[in-house]
Structure 1
């Protein structure tokens, strides 16, 4: 992984392959043209204050994500200047938005694949900017190459080039505790988010429920938290009808994994629940052609929960965090659950299965009830749950539902704070009626219209009474089928990891729940 350092060195004398600077669209009240962002003063001075004009001649506009390369001025040891767009220039008394810095750093890091070292001279006005730039670099430099010939051994990407080797963040103070802390947090969260991306990108013949559980056990041993794994025999004995019903059609048997991070001074408890369908064929309600190829990503919710718990442990947050990973493979076979079957869930409620491709809510239902038995201060579940949410919010925004308006709003605020687009969604009570069953307590399907909202209503049935709960449907942003953008790669994205970590931090300081 790319190494990050803080540096107060002068840009001109720094030995590197490139110097990354920021440029922005000037506001009408200050400058109508291209603006060189703070941090690049030395570079601009070496161009006699005409760097903006040179970049405009080359076609630069300052638009977010835009990247322009040009030779370094005389006297600089780095041969290349990389100018990356930050979008609109902030107001006179405002700082550059952390998300703009995060995305710009990600674009530059990806463009510098194959380089040994780069100096990032982006605007730094405090530890928040250091953290954002650090995250952007590490997330933008990510690539998944474990399945290529010798890929895991040499760390090289598809084009034969290794990721950027080192990024020196200019303006960062190596002896400043706040700067060092922000950088350390960025490294921890980014490493774990990238680990979640690896899991999402891993082929389903390698990442079975059993293999996923083993990965969590190894991480627990390394980072000092506890893991309990219930295999198929324990799930049957315990009455986990939802998880066993979904996983019963596969030779790769299901697992329920409980991750427990406890801080000795903590008096707050946050439970996280993740959908972990390691491959989703749809079961007997088989998905149509063209809808199967990316279904290895249906465990992205569990990957996010896993990454968040490990991050909390590594950061030493003063909060108890429990993660529940509901792991199963949804396959058609003679032992698979059928449309019309009735499952008795872990809570004791019965569910008529009308569509076996609505399986995520079934495994989550058991895990939510299990989490509720510990009476945490709040539960947040994360899942690639419904195509309806993609239709509603697109491929870059996840939906937030919940049983408490204030908590739902707080989760939304946390997501926006860390740069993860999200939107609050309602739970209309009239949709609940469509889930009534003639033979069971409820069915797993409701009306087609508002399907994502019905799924939230279904999950609410399995949250313990009086427990604050939120549901994140990350079906849209969890897997990027298009080209990379900002710090987001093609494939697994690690959606919701940063939101969950932030929620854990807020819970630790008593600002949530």
Structure 2
């Protein structure tokens, strides 16, 4: 039986830096030897409020009295270090904001506060977390946020602070089996997000379709996940014209990777499909230079799918999950496909390629057909698909399209795990813009509503299967400052939502 530990060993082989450990403790956090102790501060009309019930009252009162003078507000993402005073064994106190708290601190503010604090403590050896953690839900949120905040990508750095080495979460329910289970889940989730982030952050010089496929094999080694890879010859023979066409301009040929977790007595079968363009130059419809700078992130969907399947296996979810990684490098080589080329997709649909920079929908179309052929109960695809997603929803909110029930399932899971997803329509009138005069479809349509047009294109390849399409073009890669548990660069956005969908299916 695979365990979160098996998954951690596999992902550690690909890790950018040492993995942070987290343990639970019932020990008085004030007496716990550590380099730093993390405490929560809430914002309120009457001024900042220290949430330090775990500390002796005298110590807590002394710290609380200092908050106004320190300029602490308690707003989200606020982190301040101060020397520890008398009564604390730790050397430094770290105050982290949770925002306005009406009564009990909700899990997402806790997750974010823990992440912000631990992220700011890079290079620190031992950290004790004395945040509100009175039940399993709060314990899981603090653990997850802290582990996500501990992420660093140091593969190409000659010198950079290491992550926090050891985390201790002080909680009165440390011995409770539900709390222990919450931490195990948090570790599996964090390892999954970490794995996805690592892949997104890796240079395209090192990550290309073949090496991505090998990374999938390595990550799955020792787990209950089976990996199957189709190379360029098998793709050509199998009629995967969309994937082959996109990849033909590169010297590094495409791959389609199937990642399957098939537990006994599964309650449902979900197919997850991820866009895996390891670098997107735009092909002959070349992007401007500025538009290429972060195009190593165009495989974030495939990275998310791979590590969602691995996390589901690590948690032994009673749900069959089949992941499909549609991998290609979109380059303008001498053999690249041309605007006006017509390709035949896996299901026989012909597509006129009017813009080679609308390549993600082409590889996804083929992979959706492959997924559909196995007759899953539901298909969910995830992709950094359109710039129009960012125009509509910004850099932190993903768009969800698809059949009503599947779309609602994804949005509900996102809300439950703390990721921002917004339901979007698929207006039937926009389908007309995908008509081609020479083929069944063209690969682009109306410019306005481009995110929705792309969703309508994908809808052509799912048949009658319940399906949701998640566009994370903005949220998958953070070009701005780090915040909460989210670093600069690859974010792993979407993994927690997809895993939440699978966990909800497991509970039904």
Q: Which residue of 2 is the match for residue 24 of structure 1? A: 42
Report SS of the residue matched to 1:222.
coil
Q: Aligned runs of 1:34-45 on 2, under 5 Å?
A: 34-42=48-56, 45=58
Q: Aligned runs of 1:328-477 on 2, under 5 Å?
A: 328-403=328-403, 405-465=404-464, 467-477=465-475
Give distance in 2, aligned partners of 1:111 and 1:227.
Answer: 37
> Which segments of 5 or more consecutive residues in structure 1 lack a partner in the other structure?
150-157
Q: Which residue of 2 is the match for residue 277 of structure 1? A: 277
Note if 1:74 corresponds to 2:86: yes
Give distance in 2, aligned partners of 1:23 and 1:449.
Answer: 44
Give distance in 1, aligned partners of 2:161 and 2:274.
Answer: 34
Give distance in 2, aligned partners of 1:508 and 1:371.
Answer: 20
Report SS of the residue matched to 2:95.
strand
Q: Which residue of 1 is the match for residue 207 of structure 2? A: 207
Note if 1:122 corresponds to 2:131: yes
Q: Which residue of 2 is the match for residue 153 of structure 1? A: none
2:396, 2:420 within 8 Å by CA — same for their partners in 1? yes
Greater Cα offset, 237-246 or 260-269: 260-269
Give distance in 2, aligned partners of 1:118 and 1:39.
Answer: 18
Q: Which residue of 1 is the match for residue 226 of structure 2? A: 226
Q: Which residue of 1 is the match for residue 146 of structure 2? A: 137
Give distance in 1, aligned partners of 2:415 and 2:227.
Answer: 31
Q: Which residue of 2 is the match for residue 266 of structure 1? A: 266
Give distance in 1, aligned partners of 2:172 and 2:259.
Answer: 35
Q: Which residue of 1 is the match for residue 121 of structure 2? A: 112
Q: CA deviation at 1:50?
A: 4.2
The RMSD of aligned alpha carbons is 1.2
Q: Which residue of 2 is the match for residue 310 of structure 1? A: 310
Distance 1:381 1:198, change over 3 A: same
For 1:46, which of 59, 81, 106 is the aligned residue? Answer: 59
2:130, 2:170 within 8 Å by CA — same for their partners in 1? yes
Give distance in 1, aligned partners of 2:97 and 2:239.
Answer: 55
Q: CA deviation at 1:459?
A: 0.2
Q: Aligned runs of 1:491-510 on 2, under 5 Å?
A: 491-510=489-508
For 2:102, which of 90, 115, 140 is the aligned residue? Answer: 90
Q: What do residues 24-67 of structure 1 show as CA deviations (whole Å, max 9, x unaligned)?
A: 012x5xxx22111254442x5215x2433311111001111111
Q: CA deviation at 1:380?
A: 0.3
Give distance in 2, aligned partners of 1:268 and 1:20.
Answer: 41
Give distance in 2, aligned partners of 1:394 and 1:239.
Answer: 36
1:20, 1:108 within 8 Å by CA — same for their partners in 2? yes
Report SS of the residue matched to 2:168.
strand
Give distance in 2, aligned partners of 1:482 and 1:225.
Answer: 35
Report SS of the residue matched to 1:367.
helix
Give distance in 2, aligned partners of 1:70 and 1:218.
Answer: 43
Report SS of the residue matched to 1:348.
coil
Report SS of the residue matched to 2:200.
helix
Give distance in 2, aligned partners of 1:143 and 1:243.
Answer: 33
Give distance in 1, aligned partners of 2:78 and 2:337.
Answer: 50
Give distance in 2, aligned partners of 1:453 and 1:205.
Answer: 32
Report SS of the residue matched to 1:290.
helix
Q: Which residue of 1 is the match for residue 194 of structure 2? A: 194
Q: What do residues 264-286 of structure 1 show as CA deviations (whole Å, max 9, x unaligned)?
A: 12131010000000000000000
Note if 1:246 corresponds to 2:262: no
Report SS of the residue matched to 1:223.
coil
Report SS of the residue matched to 2:438.
coil
1:373, 1:464 within 8 Å by CA — same for their partners in 2? no
Give distance in 1, aligned partners of 2:172 and 2:374.
Answer: 43
2:232, 2:244 within 8 Å by CA — same for their partners in 1? yes
Distance 1:172 1:206, change over 3 A: farther
Greater Cα offset, 416-425 or 67-76: 67-76
Q: CA deviation at 1:399?
A: 0.3
Q: CA deviation at 1:172?
A: 5.2
Give distance in 2, aligned partners of 1:225 and 1:34.
Answer: 48
Q: CA deviation at 1:223?
A: 1.1
Name the count of aligned residue pairs.
490
2:29, 2:55 within 8 Å by CA — same for their partners in 1? no
Report SS of the residue matched to 1:189.
helix
Report SS of the residue matched to 2:290.
coil
Give distance in 1, aligned partners of 2:294 and 2:179.
Answer: 39
Instruction: Give me the TM-score of the superposition, normalised by structure 2.
Output: 0.95
